[in-house]
Amino acid sequence: MNLLKKIAVSAFLTASLSAVYTPAFSAEAHQDKGLVVLTAAKNTEAALLEAKSLLEKGGDTEQVLKAMNEARQAQKEFRYEQTERLRQKLNDKLSGARKAFENNDNAKALENINAALGYYADMKKIYDAAH
């Protein structure tokens, strides 16, 4: 009798856990990967251009850093296999621009932002050619 109770409780717990967890895992929102990449591309470009503009104008430190951080976060979503190495190089240039800016070397920061824009243009060209 005790064994039957244990089996019944075990079966009940298994059923209830699978009923709870299955919808949670399958309810993940479906996202169009192409739309995610295009949005990331637009956000990356906008943030890079904003950072460049602020550097050229001698903008506020916090605004420049915010624009660089936004570009760095946005480019993470630009996931396309054929452009992955370029994305890594773009990330390196953004890191270099941030370090240079923090060391009060605006010319070097601007140079790195311009290089990042070049990598972005190459990434976009490759992505657009495939889609």
In angstroms, the first-to-last Cα distance of the chain is 65
- Round to whole Å and give the CA distance between 6 and 3: 5
Low-confidence residues in the chain, pLDDT < 70: 1, 6, 8-9, 11-13, 16-31
pTM value?
0.72
CB-CB contact of 27 with 124 (8 Å):
no
CATH code for the domain of 126? 1.20.120.660
Residue pLDDT, tens place only, 89-116 = 999 999 999 999 999 999 999 999 999 9
How far is Cα 66 from Cα 72, in angstroms, rounded to an integer? 10
The answer to whether residue 75 is domain-embedded is yes
Q: Indicate whether 63 belongs to any domain.
A: yes
Q: Containing domain of residue 117, as a range?
A: 33-130
Residue 80, C-beta contacts closer than 8 angstroms, at least 6 positions apart: 37, 123, 126, 127, 130
Question: What CA dihedral angle connects 9, 12, 15 and 20, to 10 degrees?
Answer: -100
| Any domain includes 78 | yes
> Contact, 126 vs 82, CB < 8 A?
yes
